[in-house]
C-alpha cells in the first residue's frame, strides 16, 4: 500500500459547530419549502416549489449548506464547484441543476426532483427480502450511466477547452432511479476538472472509500478509468447482492481496495452469465491499463452482451422493480436525496467527532461468503480431503527410502 498519508477533503473545523440552525418550512427566497427530505451535519435538503402567476408551480429540490459551514472555504468551494459543473451539464441521465444562489448567508442549489429511490435503497430493500437485484438489473442500470459518463468525459468549456471531468463519487447512493425507471447520476460536489486544480490538491482523497479505485485511494492522478472502476463496483454489488470492498472498518476497506482481489461473480452466483463476468472483471482490474479505456468502449461490450442474451433490461423493468420493492405507501418515507448529507460508515467523520452508529447493512460481503466456504472446507473428513504438495512429497520420499532399504537388505 502506498505510504502517502490519506486524508479526506474538506478538512474539518477545529471545533464542530454546536448544532445546525435548521431552516423551517415556508418561503426561502423565491422558493417555498414544502417538506424536509434529509438533514445532516452540513446540509439540509427540501422538497420545494417555485410559484408563479395564475397558480403556476414547479417542484424542485433545494439543497442548502448550513451557515456554520458556509464560512469554511473548502466546504463552500465544494458546493460552488457542484453548481458550476452541473450548470454545464445537460443530459437525460444526469440530475439537472436549475439555480444556485445565496439567501441569508445560506448557499443553496435548486435541482431536479426525482420521484424515486437510490440504488443503495434498492440494494438494501432487495437484501432484506433475500433476493439480489441480479445481472439484468445491473445491465439496465449500466447503459444509461455509461451514456452519462461518456457525455461528461467529452465535455468542453465555454471557450472550447476540454474539461476532463472525473466524477470521483460514483456510488449506489449517487445513482437515482425514478418511479418511471429513468436512471440519473447525481452529486458532482467532488468532481475533478482540468480547469479547477484547487479541487485536486496532492495527497487529498475525495469520495467514498468502498467505491474508489486503487489509484484514487492512493491519491494518484485520475482519469475516467477510475470512474469506470467505481461503476464496476456498483454493478458487481447489484449483480451479485454482495458488498465487494466494504468492510467493518475504514482501514479494512482501504486494504481491500488496494489488494484488488475480486472474486469472480460466478463463484458467488450460480449460472452467472460468463459474458457479463468478463466485462465486470475487466472494469475492476487492479491495473488501470488493463481496464476499459473509456465509457463508450465498455458500453459497446455491454450492448453486445445484451444483444446475445436477448434481454430487454430497460426503463420499464426498472420501473416495475421500484414499484415492487417500494409500494406507494412505503415510497413516501424514502428519499433518494438523503445520501451525501448524513455521514457514512466508510467516510471520515468531520469535526473530530465520532460517527453515529451506522445503519445495519443487510447486504453480505464477499468476505462473508469466502469465510463460510473456508469453514465448510475445513470441516470435511480427512478421507475426502485432497493432499497438499508437501504431503505428496513426504510420501514419495518415504517410498524411495523404503525401496532403498529393501534393496540393501536383499543384496547384503
Q: pLDDT-based confidence at 196, cuts 50/70/90?
A: low
Domain boundary among 338, 373, 404: 338
Confidence band of 107 (pLDDT split at 50, 70, 90): confident
Terminus-to-terminus CA distance in the chain, angstroms?
Answer: 62
Residue 161's Cβ-count burial label (10 Å; 0-12, 13-18, 19+) is exposed
State the Cα–Cα distance between residues 202 and 207, nearest whole angstrom.
15
More confident residue, 324 or 191: 324
| Containing structural domain, residue 181 | 116-338
Point out the least confidently predicted range of 4-13, 74-83, 98-107, 322-331. 4-13
Q: Is residue 235 part of a domain?
A: yes
User: 134 and 107 in one domain?
Assistant: no
Contact 226, 215 (CB under 8 A): yes
Let me know if residue 138 belongs to a domain.
yes
pLDDT at 11 over 50: no
Q: Residue 78's pLDDT is what? A: 76
- Together in a domain, 124 and 181: yes
Strand (E) or helix (H) holding 80: helix 73-87
In angstroms, rounded to a whole number, what is the distance separating the alpha carbons of residues 235 and 262?
A: 13
pLDDT at residue 383, rounded to an integer: 36
Same domain assignment for residues 205 and 102: no
Q: What average pLDDT does this structure show over 203-215?
A: 76
196 located within any domain: yes
392's grid cell: 505428496
Residue 323's H or E segment, with its range, is helix 315-325
Indicate if the pLDDT at residue 190 is higher than 70.
Answer: no
The percent of residues in the chain predicted with pLDDT above 90, rounded, is 44
Can you give 369-382 as a three-state secondary structure string?
A: HHHHHHHHHHCCCH
Give 134-186 pLDDT, tens digit per residue.
Answer: 999 999 999 999 999 999 999 887 778 888 888 888 999 999 999 999 999 98
Distances (CA, A) of 159 to 88, 194, 195, 366: 12, 13, 12, 47
Count the domains in the chain: 2
Domain boundary among 95, 113, 131: 113
Locus of grid cell 436549475? 98
- Asked if residue 408 has pLDDT above 90, the reply is no
In a 13 Å sphere around the CA of 137, the CA atoms on its Cβ side amount to 22
Tell which wins on pLDDT, 355 or 78. 78
pLDDT confidence of residue 187: 80
If asked whether residues 125 and 80 sit together in one domain, one would say no
Q: Is residue 159 part of a domain?
A: yes
Of residues 199 and 78, more confidence is placed in: 78
Residue 12 pLDDT: 39
The whole-number average pLDDT for the span 226-245 is 96
Question: Range with the lowest mean pLDDT among 73-77, 251-255, 352-356?
Answer: 352-356
Is the pLDDT reported for residue 246 higher than 90?
Answer: yes
Lowest average pLDDT, out of 19-33, 35-49, 287-301, 387-401, goes to 387-401
Nearest alpha-carbon partner for 132 in 141, 142, 123:
123
pLDDT of residue 355: 36
Annotated catalytic residues are 169
Same-domain check for residues 85 and 31: yes
Tell me the average pLDDT of the chain: 77
What's the CATH code of the domain at 62? 3.30.200.20
Given a cut of 90, whether residue 258 has pLDDT beyond it is yes
User: Are both 103 and 148 inside the same structural domain?
Assistant: no
Shared-domain flag, residues 279 and 200: yes
Q: Read out DSSP for 96-121?
A: PEEEEEEETTEEEEEE----EEEHHH
Domain-terminating residue out of 338, 371, 403: 338
Please give the Cα distance from 119 to 272 (Å, whole number).
21
pLDDT digits (tens, 9 = 90+) for 260-288: 999 999 999 999 999 999 999 999 999 99
Q: In degrees, to the nearest 5, what angle opens at C-alpha 212 toward C-alphas 206 and 214?
A: 110
Amino acid at each position: 500500500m502506498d505510504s502517502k498519508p490519506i486524508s479526506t477533503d474538506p478538512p474539518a473545523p477545529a471545533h464542530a459547530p454546536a448544532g445546525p440552525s435548521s431552516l423551517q418550512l415556508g418561503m426561502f427566497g423565491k422558493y417555498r419549502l414544502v417538506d424536509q427530505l434529509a438533514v445532516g451535519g452540513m446540509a439540509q435538503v427540501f422538497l420545494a416549489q417555485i410559484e408563479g402567476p395564475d397558480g403556476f408551480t414547479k417542484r424542485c429540490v433545494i439543497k442548502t449548506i448550513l451557515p456554520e459551514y458556509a464560512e469554511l472555504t473548502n466546504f463552500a468551494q465544494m458546493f460552488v464547484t457542484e453548481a458550476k459543473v452541473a450548470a454545464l451539464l445537460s443530459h437525460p441521465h444526469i440530475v439537472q441543476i436549475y439555480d444556485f444562489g445565496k439567501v441569508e448567508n445560506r448557499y443553496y442549489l435548486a435541482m431536479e426532483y426525482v420521484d424515486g429511490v437510490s440504488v443503495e435503497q434498492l440494494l438494501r430493500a432487495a437484501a432484506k427480502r433475500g433476493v439480489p437485484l441480479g445481472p439484468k438489473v445491473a445491465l439496465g442500470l449500466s447503459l444509461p450511466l455509461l451514456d452519462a459518463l461518456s457525455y461528461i468525459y467529452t465535455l468542453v468549456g465555454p471557450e472550447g477547452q476540454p474539461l476532463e471531468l472525473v466524477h470521483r463519487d460514483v456510488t449506489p447512493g449517487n445513482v437515482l432511479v425514478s418511479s418511471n425507471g429513468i436512471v440519473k447520476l447525481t452529486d458532482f460536489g467532488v468532481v475533478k476538472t482540468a480547469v479547477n486544480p484547487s479541487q485536486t490538491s496532492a495527497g487529498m482523497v475525495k469520495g467514498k472509500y468502498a467505491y474508489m479505485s486503487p489509484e484514487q485511494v492512493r491519491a494518484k492522478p485520475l482519469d475516467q478509468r477510475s470512474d469506470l472502476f467505481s461503476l464496476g463496483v456498483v454493478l458487481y454489488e447489484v449483480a451479485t447482492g454482495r458488498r465487494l470492498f466494504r468492510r467493518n472498518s475504514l482501514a479494512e476497506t482501504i486494504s481491500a481496495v488496494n489488494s484488488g482481489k475480486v472474486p469472480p461473480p460466478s463463484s458467488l452466483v450460480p449460472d452467472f452469465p460468463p459474458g457479463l463476468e468478463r466485462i465486470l472483471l475487466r472494469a475492476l482490474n487492479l491495473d488501470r491499463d488493463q481496464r476499459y479505456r473509456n465509457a463508450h468502449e465498455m458500453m459497446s461490450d455491454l450492448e453486445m452482451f445484451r444483444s446475445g442474451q436477448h434481454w430487454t433490461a430497460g426503463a420499464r423493468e426498472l420501473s416495475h422493480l421500484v414499484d415492487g420493492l417500494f409500494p406507494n405507501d412505503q415510497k413516501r418515507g424514502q428519499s433518494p436525496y438523503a445520501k451525501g448529507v448524513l455521514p457514512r460508515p466508510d467516510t471520515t467523520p468531520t469535526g473530530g467527532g465520532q460517527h453515529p452508529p451506522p445503519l445495519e447493512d443487510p447486504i453480505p460481503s464477499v468476505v462473508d461468503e469466502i469465510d463460510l466456504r473456508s469453514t465448510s472446507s475445513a470441516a470435511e473428513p480427512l478421507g475426502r480431503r485432497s493432499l497438499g504438495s508437501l504431503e505428496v512429497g513426504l510420501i514419495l520420499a518415504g517410498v524411495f527410502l523404503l525401496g532403498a532399504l529393501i534393496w540393501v537388505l536383499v543384496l547384503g
